[in-house]
Amino acid sequence: MDLGLDGARAIVTGGSRGIGLAVARVLVAEGARVALAARDEQRLEAAADSLRGGGAEVLVAPADTTDDTSVRAMVDEVAGVWGGVDVLVNCAAQPSFGSAPAGLANLTDAAVATDFDTKVLGYLRCARAVAPHMIAQGRGRIVNISGLATRRTGSIPGTIRNVAVAALTANLADELGPHGIGVTVVHPGMVETERTPALVADRAAATGGTEEQVRADLGATTSLRRLVAADELADVVVFLCSPRAAAVTGDAVTVAAGNRGSVHY
């Protein structure tokens, strides 16, 4: 299926590695022009180089999504080079798997505020910056990467930030829909990226178990009894970025190999 993304102008935040880089890779394969945004310029350059084979057009766009001025400057730079923005994938957030979540007694205001500022307000800042460009052209797609903490307890800051991203998505969809802009949220489960081996090793060390047992335990929470590969997630995200998904907006799509034990209707 032709997704209609050839020549599309896309910004991917958190694009230097992990899910963001996987999404950028699929966007490039579909013919899109991609701007990678993250704080570490050196890492961004390496990521961009990995995508440029075959003549792909990739921009390095350093930005700190906790800083509105930085976000606006990044979006203005991309729009200045390409004349607009068609797609925004919000993926810049702190990983939630690396350590056990703090219980109530040890949970600080600062930890929750930092998580919220980075993910929820960061996504808001990026959407707010690209919206005028999309409105002016009468079309656009925004995809927010959230997570299964939206539908599970166990991490107070994780649930707060992810539910808030879903709420942000629905509000943006209603406001921007009349301008031809679709906004969706994707809830990944645990995804296999370049970070996963170290994270699994850290959890095994913390629990006294083996890495094989950690992986088995994680897989046991899914219907498919395995983790999701980054490219599997990216395929779904890129479809939602495309004109083929024009009728999908305001809603959540879970890509987690099946959220075992849950019923949603």
Using the Cα atoms of residue 248, residue 250, residue 256 and residue 257 in order, give the sign of their dihedral: negative
Position 208 scores a pLDDT of: 87
Position 99 scores a pLDDT of: 57
Model pTM? Answer: 0.94
Residue 207 reports pLDDT greater than 90: no
Residue 98 reports pLDDT greater than 60: no
Q: Which domains does the chain have, with CATH numbers?
A: 9-193+233-245 (3.40.50.720)
Among 153, 125, 135, 136, which Cα is nearest to 144's?
125
List 185's β-bridge partners, or say none.
Answer: 144, 252
Residue 260 reports pLDDT greater than 90: no
Confidence of residue 78 (pLDDT cuts 50, 70, 90): very high
Among 2, 15, 3, which Cα is nearest to 59's?
15
Residue 245 reports pLDDT greater than 60: yes
Distance CA 185, CA 183 (A): 7
Residue 97 reports pLDDT greater than 60: no
Position 217 scores a pLDDT of: 87
How does the average pLDDT of the chain come out, rounded?
Answer: 93
Residue 100 reports pLDDT greater than 70: no
Least confident among 75-79, 135-139, 155-159? 155-159
Counting residues of the chain whose pLDDT is more than 70, the rounded percentage is: 97
Query: Tokens 């996987």 correspond to what residue?
Result: 22
Confidence of residue 1 (pLDDT cuts 50, 70, 90): confident
Residue 114 reports pLDDT greater than 70: yes
155 or 256, which is more confident? Answer: 256
| Rounded (5°) CA angle 32-124-92 | 60
